[in-house]
């Protein structure tokens, strides 16, 4: 963050575009036409509300995926990543289906979506490189999808409406990667603005930019570097429990329920114990997200921090998607002077937690949390600072 983070605080990395260009030339044998970048994200608050038609409040972060691209004179698209030796290839004139390479399926899905939308990308070569941690809950997949989409569009950021591009990338993740994600990750990767959080209404698609640029604050991202096995089936199960709860409550989605009706349905047995817990989290989290926006706009960071902690406790107790590692980071952080609040971010079962602190306390908080985490788990907990960054853009 600007405005006072100590020099010892681990800073967010950025992918070097010139190095990516050199890798492209080495692999493909010619100079690329251009490059685009799309950021990862952290969600400040509003977890597991997106697929319930609720509200979310993410920021784009200063870690990103860069896609370098160059033209071909045929209908072939070749994808290569600096993190793997396994390239992939598709033919735009043939049906596009998922392939064997997990990472490349995100790329394939985006290409299929653009063709299905009516755009006709030209054959091209695409090299991608990213410093968004994989599996950390920072939306490395959406960052990849959006960067590849813009590369296939020859770097034309305004080639299609942002909301439509987000839907294409979301559908790619659904149909080619098998992850039933909401629309938040792709939206913030496209629509993020520097110094702003994005309040997104996941039902209507309406957005509002909220100031998140106080130079006296720092947002720290602490990566557990773990991903528990519950994650894949657990996500789908909780999503279905939400839909079942909404049906029993007689509403289209949990967005339409309120705390009183949820409590009553738990008391009279309308909802099962798990359905009650899931509904209680979602309804409460939607309310917390809107209250958090009010707190930010009023400059009430103590209140914002309280809402962060309440969100984490709800995710831990009612949604059951936290884990010992995430709980430890939140506990360690909240015991530090200068910390307003902390919570897990992302889908859960591992990944990252975020910490909102005064800028002057950033180094001390980082050191304390990392040391405490190491003592408990015998492993590192990388921590980096970030500010709210801009969304997808052309960089070469």
- Alpha helices by DSSP H, listed for the chain, are 17-28, 102-117, 140-152, 162-177, 184-191, 231-249, 259-267, 273-298, 301-317, 324-334, 362-377
- Per DSSP bridges, beta strands 124-130 and 76-81 are parallel
Q: Is there a shared CATH topology between the 17-212+390-394 domain and the 217-386 domain? A: no
Q: Read off the pLDDT of residues 27-56 as tens digits, 9 standing for 90 and up.
A: 999 999 999 999 999 999 999 999 999 999
What class has domain 17-212+390-394?
A: alpha beta
Binned at pLDDT 50, 70 and 90, residue 394 comes out as very high
Q: In the chain, what are the domain boundaries?
A: 17-212+390-394, 217-386
Q: Read off the pLDDT of residues 136-193 as tens digits, 9 standing for 90 and up.
A: 789 999 999 999 999 999 999 899 999 999 999 999 999 999 887 889 999 999 999 9
Catalytic residues: 185
Question: In this structure, how many other beta carbons lie within 10 angstroms of the beta carbon of residue 56?
Answer: 28
Q: Read off the pLDDT of residues 7-26 as tens digits, 9 standing for 90 and up.
A: 233 444 578 999 999 999 99
pTM over 0.75? The answer is yes
Distance CA(239)–CA(242), nearest Å, equals: 5
Sheet (strand 350-358) strand order: 339-345, 350-358, 217-227, 383-386
Distance CA(176)–CA(170), nearest Å, equals: 10
- Per DSSP, what are the bridge partners of residue 222? 353, 383
- Domain 217-386 of CATH type 3.30.70.890: yes
Dihedral angle, C-alpha 189, 239, 115, 162, nearest 10 °: -30
Distance CA(382)–CA(379), nearest Å, equals: 10
Q: Read off the pLDDT of residues 261-304 as tens digits, 9 standing for 90 and up.
A: 999 999 999 999 999 999 999 999 999 999 999 999 999 999 99
Please give the structure tokens belonging to residue 366.
């980082």
CA distances (Å), origin 41, targets 111, 126, 283, 387, 393: 23, 23, 23, 11, 15
């Amino acid at each position: 963050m600007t405005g006072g983070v100590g020099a010892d605080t681990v800073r967010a990395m950025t992918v070097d575009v010139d190095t990516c260009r050199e890798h492209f030339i080495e692999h493909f044998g010619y100079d690329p036409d251009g490059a685009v970048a799309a950021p990862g994200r952290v969600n400040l608050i509003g977890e597991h509300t997106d697929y319930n038609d609720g509200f979310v409040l993410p920021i784009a972060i200063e870690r990103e995926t860069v896609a370098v691209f160059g033209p071909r004179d045929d209908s072939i698209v070749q994808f290569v990543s600096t993190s793997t030796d396994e390239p992939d290839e598709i033919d735009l004139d043939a049906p596009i289906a998922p392939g064997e390479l997990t990472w490349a399926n995100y790329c394939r899905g985006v290409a299929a979506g653009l063709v299905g939308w009516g755009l006709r990308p030209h054959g091209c070569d695409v090299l991608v490189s990213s410093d968004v941690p994989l599996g950390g809950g920072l939306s490395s997949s959406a960052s990849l999808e959006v960067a590849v989409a813009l590369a296939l569009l020859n770097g034309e950021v305004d080639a299609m409406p942002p909301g439509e591009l987000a839907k294409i990338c979301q559908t790619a993740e659904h149909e080619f990667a098998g992850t039933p994600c909401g629309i938040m990750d792709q939206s913030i990767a496209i629509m993020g603005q520097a110094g702003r959080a994005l309040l997104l209404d996941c039902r209507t698609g309406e957005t509002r930019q909220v100031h998140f640029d106080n130079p006296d604050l720092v947002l720290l991202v602490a990566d557990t570097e773990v991903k528990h096995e519950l994650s894949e089936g657990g996500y789908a199960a909780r999503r279905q429990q939400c839909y079942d709860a909404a049906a029993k409550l007689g509403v289209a989605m949990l967005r339409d329920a309120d705390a009183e009706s949820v409590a009553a349905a738990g008391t009279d047995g309308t909802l099962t114990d798990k359905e009650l817990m899931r509904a209680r989290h979602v309804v409460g989290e939607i309310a917390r997200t809107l209250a958090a926006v009010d707190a930010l706009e009023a400059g009430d960071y103590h209140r914002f921090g309280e809402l962060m902690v309440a969100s984490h406790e709800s995710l831990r107790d009612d949604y059951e998607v936290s884990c010992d590692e995430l709980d430890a980071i939140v506990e360690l952080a909240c015991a530090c002077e200068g910390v307003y609040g902390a919570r897990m971010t992302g889908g859960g079962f591992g990944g990252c937690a975020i910490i909102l602190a005064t800028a002057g306390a950033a180094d001390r908080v980082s050191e304390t949390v990392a040391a405490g985490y190491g003592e408990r788990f015998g492993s590192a907990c990388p921590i980096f600072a970030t500010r709210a960054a801009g969304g997808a853009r052309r960089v070469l």
